[in-house]
Amino acid sequence: MSSRRSTYQRIRRRETRSPRSVAAIILAIVLISTFAWLAVEIVLGMLNRPPILVAPSVMATALVEITSLPAASLVGGGLVIALTGWAFIALAVTPGRRGRHILESTHTVILVDDDVIASALARHAASAAGIGLDQVRVTVSRKRVEVRLTPTSGILLDRTAVLNVVTDELDSYQLQPTLEPPRLSIAREGKVGA
Amino acid sequence: MNSTNRFANRLLLLLVGLTAVVLGAAAIGLATSPALAEGWDEIAPGVLTGIETLLQGTTATQSSPNWFPAGAVAVLLLGIVLLAIFILRQGRGRTNRLIVNDAVKGGTTIIDAAVAADILNEVLSRQPGLVASHVSAYKVHRTPILSIQVTCRRGASPQIVGDIVDSSLNDLEIFAGTEIPAVVQIRGGFRTRHTAPDISIPA
């Protein structure tokens, strides 16, 4: 049983974080293309054939004389390269949350997409407020739930009742990571003829 | 659910990122610090002539062949092969066998993942709150784990959908006579927006 728990633990961790596969695969393809091009250039150089783009010896000379380039273009180029690198480091280090929550279950691991939670809460909010589904907007992020209602013009909304219903429903899911109590906002302008 | 080596993914991103930051910082340094630029101008030409003689490779003027360019090509090809393996290893870990029980006297009982998939898909397709389901099995820590992905209708309660899947799985476990570790994914997704709101589940 304990091995199953550790397996479940691993799944919970993996399924709520990004694998960064897309970024890694794109980067690997770019590296493969660059390596292949460099290899071809070196072979062409060995055979004394004309290069595809730049001969290796020309590359080396350019690198040596890099200080003769205008300072502005060196700084600009360096900045672009450094910022790209910084973006890769950020991708490598940040968790990359996947917009999912874990639903309490003893038997299995249940992962729920945030938009499913949002649409379920929206339906409860709409029925509690007595308005249409299209007058409710719910957004669910990792820690927060925001409910925005557009009342029907001339009809007062029971703020506490809606909030209670949404809070109770959310509490019943027992989601991980825990969501803060929902925030409710009611649009000042009502919808006419709804 | 798959066995993608996420550490390797992040390590590749980190190494390339660090290299790029160092190179970019070096370029900026050469442009802004005269001392650095002077040092570069002093050292670089000497390094270049050294590399140049190496890169000339097996030209007619040389008596003995120079292996440096060939070595560089070999290193690049090795890099290409490693990166190709890296790409191909993404997203694997699926398995066809869900249960392998060799504790049975005189033989082994094997239940294919397809059996579980057929049964669960059939049961779940009758649920009005669900639009679609997809069942497959993956190996995690060498144990097969059933992956159940369900797409639910707009407004369906994740709690109720979770219970439905859970009880279907329970039935399957009774049928199979053993526990089946499983992961359930409840998705809304694109199709949800084009289906009617769920009215079958009381609010």
Query: pLDDT band at residue B67, thresholds of 50, 70 and 90?
Result: confident
- Report the number of secondary-structure helices (H) and strands (E) in chain A: 6, 6
Residue A68 is given by DSSP the state G
User: Is there a single domain that holds both residue A106 and residue A181?
Assistant: yes
Per-residue pLDDT at B171: 92
pLDDT of residue B64: 52
Of A24-28, A117-121, B188-192, the one with minimum mean pLDDT is B188-192
**End-to-end alpha-carbon separation of chain A, Å?**
54
The count of structural domains within chain A is 2
Inside any domain, residue A132: yes
Pick A179 or B1 by higher pLDDT: A179
Q: Do the strands A136-140 and A145-149 form a parallel or antiparallel pair, or are they unpaired? A: antiparallel
pLDDT of A29 above 80: yes
**pLDDT at B194 (0 to 100):** 54
In three-state secondary structure terms, B192 is helix
The answer as to whether A10 is a domain residue is no
Does the pLDDT value for residue B191 go beyond 60? no
From A192's Cα to the closest Cα of chain B, the distance in A is 23
| Domain, as residue range, for A124 | 100-186
Q: Are residues A36 and A59 in the same domain?
A: yes
**pLDDT reported for residue B54:** 67
Cβ partners under 8 Å of residue B162, min gap 6: A103, A105, A110, A112, B184, B186
List the Cα angle B143/B84/A36 in 5-degree steps.
170
Beta bridge partners of B143: B140
Closest Cβ opposite residue A21 in set B57, B90, B170:
B90
Do A88 and A107 belong to one domain?
Answer: no
Does A123 contact B203 at a Cβ distance shorter than 8 Å?
yes
Contact B181 A64 (CB under 8 A): no
Among A76, A93, A110, the domain-final residue is A93
Region of poorest pLDDT, from A76-80, B8-12, B117-121, B193-197 = B193-197
Mark whether A69 and A108 lie in a shared domain: no
Of A59-63, A123-127, B85-89, B102-106, the range with the lowest mean pLDDT is B102-106
Q: Residues of chain B with pLDDT > 70: what percent? A: 85
The answer to whether residue A102 scores a pLDDT higher than 90 is: yes
Beta-carbon neighbour count of residue B71 at 10 Å?
A: 12
The minimum CA-CA distance between A150 and chain B, rounded to whole Å, is 18
User: Which chain B residues touch A120 with a CB distance below 8 Å?
Assistant: 155-158
Do A164 and A131 sit in the same domain of this protein? yes
CATH number at residue A154: 3.30.70
A60 part of contact set with chain B, CB < 8 Å? yes
pLDDT of residue B56: 61
Q: Read out DSSP for A76-108?
A: HHHHHHHHHHHHHHHHHHS--B-SEEEEP-SSS
Picking from A93, A115, A147, the residue at the C-terminal end of a domain is: A93
Last residue of a domain, one of A28, A60, A93: A93
Contact A103 B13 (CB under 8 A): no
Supply the pLDDT for residue B60: 47
The CA–CA distances, whole Å, from B71 to A39, A160, B80 equal 10, 74, 14
A105, part of any domain: yes
The domain ranges of chain B are 6-88, 97-192
B30: tokens are: 């050469």
Residue A12 lies in a domain: no
Check whether A156 has a pLDDT greater than 60: yes
Helix/strand/coil for A176: strand
In a domain, A2, yes or no: no
| A89 and A109 inside one domain | no
Q: Which fold has domain B97-192?
A: Alpha-Beta Plaits (3.30.70)
Is there a contact between B192 and A117 if contact means CB atoms under 8 Å apart?
no
Does residue A104 sit in the same domain as residue A88?
Answer: no
Cβ-nearest to B184 among A63, A74, A108: A108
- Chain B interface includes A32 (CB < 8 A): yes
Say which residue, B128 or B76, is predicted with more confidence. B76
Q: Is residue A194 scored above 90 in pLDDT?
A: no
- Preferred mutation among A15, A54, A81 to probe B, highest tally of B CBs within 10 A: A81
Its ipTM equals 0.82
Nearest CB among A17, A24, A66 relative to B13 is that of A24
